[in-house]
Structures are given as structure tokens and as C-alpha cells.
């Protein structure tokens, strides 16, 4: 299966042999089959068998996705769908990690040789990453986001960079930075005069969605924080090789080292659903503490279950139970706007917005319209202005 874009190389890109590429191509084809063929089959199973049977036996429609899940899990076809989906996820990581393990010594050396010419890198050896990140391998990434095999180790970042590109089927663009481009598109359209002097990307991982802010605001000082040291080491080397000055530091977004009113713009990309019910309000409150007057936060993440039909809720709910995403479903049921208001953001300055993944489709301001391509293919943003 051909991807819509080819991943762009940079100074820390691993090399891939013919066999590596063949394994990755097989996995992409398998994943596409799971999504399109098995997913379509499960939808037909729901429409033609499970839904009519339940309504006939109970005399009412399904009330929630939990009822639907019980009925669907009794079907062998759906069981096979989930089993193959999990296998495809594990094969995806295997297609990447085998090669990275083989060349890790070289990758670590290349990262070590990348000095802080433009930006900076600060690793906090005393930091204890939160348990909601370390207790399991999120998305089944081997070793998890905080995998650290010693000084200068970049394995977590190398695995994340390529694995994320394959997982997204190349939809994130050649540099996996399309989410940041969506945020920037939104900001420039809605607030064209907004020009931040300091930008903070929370949960920046390898910095793929941090670097675009350097290009969009060349006079701004850009920072990226994460709890994973290996992600940051890789991200620093990557940004330097791309000619971008990013200041990476190992910090917990719940409570950072930055002073009050340090930033004009605070962003994150798919950070919220990988935290916890307890941590998320802290992150929003920390965003407010760090914002200067007139500043703005834009946190991008997955949409609410309330904006989907039950079958789509069921499919996405599988991330929690079959893909090591414990907070995924709980997050989708939260009132995110209320969390921002509770953190003392002005209710009149809090926006819950959907931006289409495809700029040709235009933005959707009606999250209740589940037929909108922008809702189905887009991301939701929590926007708060101070």
C-alpha cells in the first residue's frame, strides 16, 4: 500500500533495509485491511444482525456503547476483528524496533554529536515520570514513552518517530507535523494579528509538532517539554538537523519549572487523552499560570463520544481495552470546557472547536453534525484566552 506522503529524512533518521521496508509495507497493508475491510464488516454485522436482534429482544434501542459492546463481543467475526487489529498493532512496532535495535549504537552516537548549536536540551535525572505514563506501554509502543537505556539513549524517540508515521498511515505529512499545522492554520485564520514571543509545547514527544512553531513565528522562543528523556534526546537532534531552535527540557506538564506568565502561546497535541482524570485539571491550571495576559492555549485531542453514533463509539473504545490507552474513553466523556472554566479561564474566552484534517474541507463549527467529514477526520481543540 502506498502512503499519501513519503516520510522526510532528517539528521537522526534511522536507515531501513529492503527487508525492513518490506515488513513495514506488509504491516501498513494489514492495518489498512483491518480498518477498511474488517471495520466495514463489523459495521454490517451491527446494522444487519446485532442491532435488530437487540431491539427485538429488548423492545428498545441500545442506550450506550457498553450494552453494544456486550452484544458485539459475543460475535466470532467481531472477536476476530479485534484480535487481528491487536496483532497488526504489535507487528507495526516490531517492523520498526528490530531495525532500531540493530543500529542503536550509531543512532545514539549521532545524537550525541548533535550539539546545542541552535536550541538546547535539559534532562532532569531526578524527575519521576507519572505512573499513568510508566505503568504500561501506551499504544503498545515497546518500553513505553519513558524507555531509557542509559545516557544518550534515543531508542524511544526513534521508535516513536517511525511507528507514529506508520500508525497514521502517513496522514501526518512527511514530517509528522500536520497537527501543528492545523493549529497554526486555525490561529492565523481566527487571530491573524496574534504573534507570540514565547511558545510552549506540552508533551512534545520528538518535537515533530513543535518545530512548525519555529517556522511560523521565527522571532519567537520555542520550548518543548516531555517526561520521556529518550523522546527529548531524539527530538533535540532532529530539530537541530532541521535548522530549528527548540529548547527541550524534561518536565511534567502538571507542574513545570517555568515562572508565572512565561508564555504567550501554550499548545499540546494528543496529550490530554494520555494523562489521567487527576492530572488533566492540573495541566489546564498550569497552562493558565504560565500564560501572559492576552496569551492563548490551544490543546488538540480526540473528539467527544457525545458527537458520535454508538458504533463509532464502540470502535474508538477499543483503544482503551485493546491498545493500552486507559484514559482514552474516560477523556472522551469529560466536559473539557468546564475544566478550563474551573481553572479560572473566562467562560467567554473558552472555545471547543473542531478543525478539519483536510484544509480543503474547511472548519466545522458544528460538532453535533456527525456526518461532517471535518468532524470525522478532524481534531478538537480546547482554546482558552487569558
Task: Concatenate the DSSP letters of all residues of 188-226 into one string.
Answer: HHH-TT---SEEEEET-TTSTTTHHHHHHSTTSEEEEEE
> What CA–CA distance (Å, rounded) separates 96 from 94?
5
Contact residues for 341 (Cβ-Cβ < 8 A; gap 6+): 347, 350
Contacts of 181 (CB under 8 A, 6+ apart): 173, 212
Q: How do the residues of the chain divide into helix, strand and coil, expressed in percent and rounded to 5? A: 50, 15, 40
Interatomic CA distance for residues 337 and 304, integer angstroms: 12
Give the residues across from 381 on adjacent strands: 300, 353
Residue 362 neighbours by CB distance under 10 Å: 12
Q: Mean pLDDT in runs of 10 for the chain (386 residues)?
A: 72 93 91 92 98 98 96 98 96 94 95 86 96 95 95 95 89 91 95 97 98 97 98 97 97 98 97 96 98 97 91 94 94 96 96 75 37 50 94
pLDDT value of residue 117: 86
Name residues whose C-beta falls within 8 Å of residue 20's C-beta, 6 or more positions apart in sequence.
95, 98, 99
CB 5 within 8 A of CB 170: yes
Q: Checking DSSP bridges between strand 263-269 and strand 221-226, what pairing results, if any?
A: unpaired
* Per-residue pLDDT reduced to its tens digit, 176-225: 999 999 999 999 999 999 999 999 999 999 999 999 999 999 999 999 99
* Rounded Cα distance, 93 and 142, in Å: 7
Domain 1-386 has CATH 3.30.70.120: no
Judge if pTM exceeds 0.85.
yes
HSE (side-chain half, CA atoms, 13 Å) at 218 = 2
Helical packing angle, 155-167 and 76-112, nearest 10°:
140
Domain boundaries, the chain: 1-386
- Give tens-digit pLDDT for 255-311: 999 999 999 999 999 999 999 999 999 999 999 999 999 999 999 999 899 989 999
Amino acid at each position: 500500500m502506498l502512503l499519501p506522503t513519503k516520510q522526510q529524512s532528517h539528521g537522526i533518521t534511522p536507515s531501513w533495509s529492503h527487508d525492513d521496508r518490506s515488513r513495514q509495507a506488509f504491516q501498513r497493508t494489514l492495518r489498512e485491511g483491518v480498518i477498511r475491510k474488517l471495520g466495514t464488516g463489523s459495521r454490517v454485522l451491527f446494522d444487519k444482525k446485532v442491532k435488530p436482534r437487540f431491539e427485538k429482544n429488548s423492545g428498545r434501542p441500545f442506550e450506550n456503547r457498553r450494552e453494544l459492546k456486550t452484544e458485539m463481543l459475543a460475535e466470532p467475526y467481531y472477536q476476530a476483528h479485534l484480535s487481528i487489529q491487536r496483532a497488526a498493532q504489535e507487528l507495526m512496532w516490531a517492523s520498526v524496533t528490530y531495525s532500531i535495535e540493530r543500529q542503536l549504537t550509531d543512532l545514539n552516537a549521532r545524537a550525541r554529536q548533535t550539539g546545542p548549536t541552535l536550541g538546547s536540551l535539559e534532562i532532569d535525572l531526578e524527575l519521576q515520570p507519572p505512573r499513568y505514563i510508566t505503568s504500561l506501554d501506551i499504544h503498545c509502543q515497546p518500553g513505553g514513552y519513558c524507555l531509557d537505556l542509559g545516557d544518550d539513549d534515543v531508542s524511544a524517540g526513534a521508535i516513536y518517530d517511525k511507528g507514529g508515521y506508520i500508525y497514521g498511515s502517513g496522514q501526518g505529512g512527511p514530517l509528522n507535523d500536520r497537527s501543528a499545522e492545523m493549529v497554526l492554520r486555525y490561529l492565523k485564520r481566527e487571530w491573524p494579528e496574534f504573534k507570540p514571543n514565547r511558545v510552549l509545547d506540552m508533551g512534545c514527544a520528538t518535537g515533530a509538532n513543535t518545530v512548525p512553531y519555529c517556522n511560523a513565528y521565527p522571532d519567537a522562543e520555542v520550548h518543548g517539554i516531555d517526561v520521556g528523556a529518550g523522546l527529548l534526546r531524539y527530538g533535540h537532534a532532529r530539530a537541530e538537523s532541521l535548522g530549528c531552535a527548540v529548547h527541550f527540557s524534561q518536565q511534567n506538564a502538571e507542574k513545570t519549572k517555568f515562572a508565572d506568565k512565561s508564555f504567550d502561546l501554550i499548545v499540546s497535541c494528543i496529550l490530554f487523552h494520555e494523562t489521567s482524570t487527576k492530572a488533566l485539571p492540573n495541566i489546564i491550571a498550569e497552562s493558565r499560570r504560565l500564560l501572559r495576559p492576552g496569551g492563548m492555549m490551544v490543546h488538540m485531542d480526540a473528539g467527544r463520544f457525545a458527537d458520535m453514533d454508538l458504533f463509532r463509539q464502540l470502535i474508538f473504545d477499543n483503544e482503551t481495552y485493546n491498545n493500552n490507552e486507559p484514559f482514552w474513553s474516560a477523556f472522551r466523556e469529560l466536559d473539557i470546557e468546564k475544566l478550563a472554566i474551573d481553572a479560572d479561564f473566562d467562560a467567554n474566552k473558552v472555545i471547543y472547536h473542531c478543525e478539519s484534517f483536510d484544509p480543503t474541507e474547511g472548519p466545522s463549527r458544528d460538532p453535533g453534525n456527525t456526518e461532517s467529514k471535518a468532524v470525522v477526520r478532524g481534531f478538537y481543540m480546547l482554546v482558552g484566552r487569558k
